[in-house]
Amino acid sequence: MATVLRPEDMESRITDTAVTAEGHVMSIVTATGHVDLCAVNGIAYAVAYSSTEEYINSAWTAQASVPVALIRAPGTIVRLQLLATNQAITRGDPIKTSTLGHVDLGTWSVPPTIAELRAFCGKALESKALNTGGTILVLWKPTWF
C-alpha cells in the first residue's frame, strides 16, 4: 500500500551532477553529503522529485551543484527513469539501479551478493517491453531488506 508523504519524507540536497528529469535514482556521496546519479548496482538513497534545469539564454539547461528535491519514503509510488536498453519487465518484477540514475530489471547471481541486493530499489507496477526506455512506475523500496 502506498504511503502519504510527510514533510520528513522529502528533502533537498546539493547534487554533484546535473539532473535532466525527475525520476532519477540518487545515491549519497559520503565525502560531502551531496547526492549524485546512482551508478550500476549503487545503493539507492532517494528519487529526484524534480530536475535541476533552468531557463538560460532561451534554452533549458540542467545545472550541477544546486539543490534537488528528493523523495525518500519507502512505499511511495514513483516514476523512475528506465534504461534505454532495458530488459523486458513484467509487473511485480524487482527493479535495481543501473547506470546514470536509471533502473532496469533486477537480476542476481545465485546466491545473490550483498552488493546485488543493495541495488534493489523497488517492484515494477507496470510491464515494459525490451529496449523501450522512458519511465516505469515503481513501488519505491530501497534495499531488499
Kindly state whether residue 96 falls inside one of the protein's structural domains: yes
Residue 68: how many CA atoms within 13 Å on its side-chain side?
34
Kindly state whether residue 2 falls inside one of the protein's structural domains: no
3-state secondary structure 83-124: CCCCCCECCCCEEEECCCCCEEECCCCCCCCHHHHHCEEEEE
- With a pLDDT cut of 70, the percent of the chain lying above it is 92
Q: How many domains does the chain have?
A: 1
Kindly state whether residue 49 falls inside one of the protein's structural domains: yes
Distance CA 106, CA 87 (A): 9
pLDDT confidence bin for 96, thresholds 50/70/90:
very high
Higher local confidence (pLDDT), 1 or 13: 13
pLDDT confidence bin for 104, thresholds 50/70/90:
very high
pLDDT at 4 over 80: no
Kindly state whether residue 79 falls inside one of the protein's structural domains: yes
pLDDT confidence bin for 72, thresholds 50/70/90:
confident
The pLDDT score that the predictor gives to residue 115 is 82
What's 114's domain CATH number?
Answer: 2.40.300.10
Kindly state whether residue 145 falls inside one of the protein's structural domains: no
pLDDT confidence bin for 8, thresholds 50/70/90:
low
Kindly state whether residue 113 falls inside one of the protein's structural domains: yes
Amino acid at 99: T
The pLDDT score that the predictor gives to residue 92 is 94
pLDDT tens string 117-144: 888 999 999 999 999 999 999 999 886 5
Backbone angle region of 48, left / alpha / beta, with phi > 0 → left and psi within -120 to 50 → alpha: beta
- Spell out the residues 6+ positions from residue 88 whose beta carbon is closer than 8 angstroms to its own: 105, 127, 128, 129, 130
pLDDT confidence bin for 1, thresholds 50/70/90:
very low
Q: Which range marks the domain in which residue 32 is found? A: 7-140
pLDDT confidence bin for 55, thresholds 50/70/90:
confident
Kindly state whether residue 1 falls inside one of the protein's structural domains: no
The pLDDT score that the predictor gives to residue 113 is 86
